[in-house]
Structure 1
Amino acid sequence: MSSIFPREQRVEQLFDRILRDPRACRRLKETFYESCPETDLMDADSVEATDAIFANALIRAYQNQDLSAFLMAICGNSMFDLLRNSFLIPLRFNDKDVENPVILTDETGALRDNLPVAVPDKKYKIFCDLYREKPEIRDFQMCLAYGFRERHFYSEDLKVQTDKIGEHLGVLLLYQLPKDIENHAADAEIYATVWNYMMQLEETLPRAFMYYGKMEKDGKELESDRIGIFLPFHHFESRMKKYMEMANGIGLACRGNIVDMLRDRASITPAKK
């Protein structure tokens, strides 16, 4: 029997960082207990496993050494759902071919056609007011977007189901990285840098999302990686302009750190042909 989800790659460094950071340990614990239906902190959307689902998940987890199989039964989250929903790992753009975040505006700030979600006039007006005053930053883009997180659980017939949670409209800030990034740094190095700044982002602006990797446009992957910071209106609308300034400071510092690393590498390492 195979595991429900493919094993994530290169997780040792990530787990080590989480275990060495008391803030990260606290958030992971809180997310787990908030997801458990037996606790006083039970979320209204938590999934309570039936006896059959619980027993099947427990046995499957034992047989396959698959922790996610058991976690899904007791708290409605896989192992990496818990990490994502604790804001302990950045989200990859369009991970597993699921468009996330969904970009709702074009390069001029106008709404795109045939949007998959409704955009209230009030939210769009707030975005337009902010867009008119957006800072002049090189290789920077500001969009209205729809973002979400996911959790996984079992149906009664033991099929894996996926739910979107934390669905919000908000402002997405995008910072383009150099096009030749793969020539001078391993993905794990970029990930480690992004993780450090993501932790800073969560301490400064809790519940902001951080994305990274390659985005798609019109079904085609863009040439260069990007860092994205998503500020949901639900959490940040009251002082969005101020919060955007704070997020830009973190996003630009993250990009600057990566660019400096690439510049140092390029000076001593010949570029790949």
Structure 2
Amino acid sequence: MQEQTIFPREEKAEALFQKILDDPWACAKLEDTFCHYLFCSEDQDVDLPPEAFTRALFNAYIHRDMSAFLMAISQNTMFDLLRNAYLIPYRFNADGKENPIIMTDEEGQLLPAYQGTVHEKSYRHFNKVYQSLGDRKNIFFAQAYCYSHDYGSEEMDVEQKVLGRSTGVLLIRELPDTVKAKKTEAEAYSAVWDLMIELEKQLPKAYVFYGQDTLLDHDDRYDELGIFLPDSLFLKNLERHVAKAEAIIYG
């Protein structure tokens, strides 16, 4: 049977799945996230017409496509569920959409495009923290959002769905290039999983971003890890939260 899945299957994901299975906390997070996003719940709008839902369900069965099935019942693919349970990172600039959006330069100053458009109190607090840091490299004031995917029309087009935007502090750090090591993206997630879960347990609801072979520094390529601390959760005691993230990354 010719493969006609809506998303390419993630290769060599077994090690990542086993890490999640081995952690009861992670299993509970995944179950809670799945139940939250079931679109048949009373408090969630249903935009997919019944005929489109039925078509999605049948196509998922015929083509053995788990992501198509999960999108039909929860508006999330398998890896959307893992991301929105904070069990794997969000991709930098997924689906060709800028995310996160970096709004300051290497000196912590607002870029011209964002002057007058950001919340002044949040930026002032970021700048105060930024100026107090010993190492300011790759720390930015930024905007980020979490996302899932759903069917955008009766034609079953797949669209990225923004679930919520926040401003906050973004830390970007380089990691070894997993492409050179010939690792798939799922294997790369597995390699950084322990680090990410420590971040999520210590800094709940922080967004973790990951880019495979996306950071260029002096003609060398690296993977990059981004930790985004939303203002709404981390504005209080921000200095301590930034220090905690740094300690986890380099610990």
Fold match by TM threshold 0.5: yes
Which residue of structure 1 aligns with residue 152 of structure 2? Answer: 155
Query: Compared with structure 1, are the counterparts of its residues 77 and 3 closer, same or farther at alpha carbon in structure 2 (3 Å cutoff)?
Result: same
Deviation at residue 87 of structure 1 after TM alignment:
0.7
Asked if 1:66 corresponds to 2:68, the answer is no
Aligned to 1:257: none
* Alignment match, 1:210: 208
Return the alpha-carbon distance in structure 2 between the equivalents of residues 81 and 34 of structure 1.
Answer: 13
- Alpha-carbon offset, residue 212 of structure 1: 2.6
Give structure 2 stretches of 5+ with no counterpart: none
Q: Tell me, what secondary structure is at the counterpart of 2:192?
A: helix
For residues 254-273 of structure 1, the aligned pairs below 5 Å read none
Instruction: Find the counterpart in structure 2 of residue 146 from structure 1.
Output: 143
Secondary structure, counterpart of 1:224 in structure 2 = strand
* Counterpart Cα distance in 2 of 1:117 and 1:84: 32
Q: Structure 1: state its 5+ residue gaps.
A: 254-273
- Corresponding position of 2:20: 18
Give the aligned residue type for 1:53.
Answer: A
Does 23-32 or 91-100 show the bigger shift? 91-100
Q: CA deviation at 1:177?
A: 3.8
Greater Cα shift, 11-20 or 187-196: 187-196
Shift in CA distance, 190/64, structure 1 to aligned 2, threshold 3 Å: closer
Aligned residue identity for 1:147: A
**More off after superposition, 94-103 vs 126-135:** 94-103
Q: Distance in 2 between matches of 1:162 and 1:176?
A: 27
CA distance in 2, matches of 1:176, 1:4: 31
Letter in 2 for 1:153: D
User: Which whole-Å CA distance do the structure 2 matches of 1:61 and 1:182 have between them?
Assistant: 31
Deviation string 1:184-210 (CA, Å, 9 cap, x unpaired) is x45466543311111111111111112
Retained in 2: the 8 A contact 1:48–1:75?
A: no
**TM-score (norm: length of structure 1):** 0.79
Check conservation: 2:170, 2:226, Cα contact below 8 A. Answer: yes
Is the CA contact (8 Å cut-off) linking 1:49 and 1:74 kept in structure 2? Answer: no
Partners of 1:222 and 1:149 lie apart in 2 by 29
Q: Is the 2:88–2:189 contact (alpha carbons within 8 Å) kept by the matching residues of 1?
A: no
Measured at CA, do residues 115 and 36 of structure 1 come closer, stay the same or move farther in structure 2, by a change above 3 Å? Answer: same
Shift of 1:153: 1.4
TM norm structure 2: 0.85
Match of 1:259 in 2: none
Count of residues in correspondence between the two structures: 243
- Mean alpha-carbon deviation: is it higher for 187-196 or for 125-134? 187-196
Question: Using a 3 Å threshold, how does the CA distance of structure 1 residues 116 and 98 change in structure 2: closer, same or farther?
Answer: farther
CA distance in 2, matches of 1:101, 1:120: 17
Shifted more, 94-103 versus 118-127: the winner is 94-103
- Work out whether residues 200 and 250 of structure 1, in 8 Å CA contact, stay in contact via their aligned partners in 2: yes
**Counterpart position of 1:234:** 232
SS at 1:144 equivalent: strand
| Deviation of 1:83 (Å) | 0.8
Higher relative contact order (CA 8 A, sep 6+): 2
RMSD after superposition: 2.6
Paired residues of 1:174 and 1:227 also in contact (CA < 8 A): yes
Q: 1:222 to 1:72 in 2, by over 3 A?
A: farther
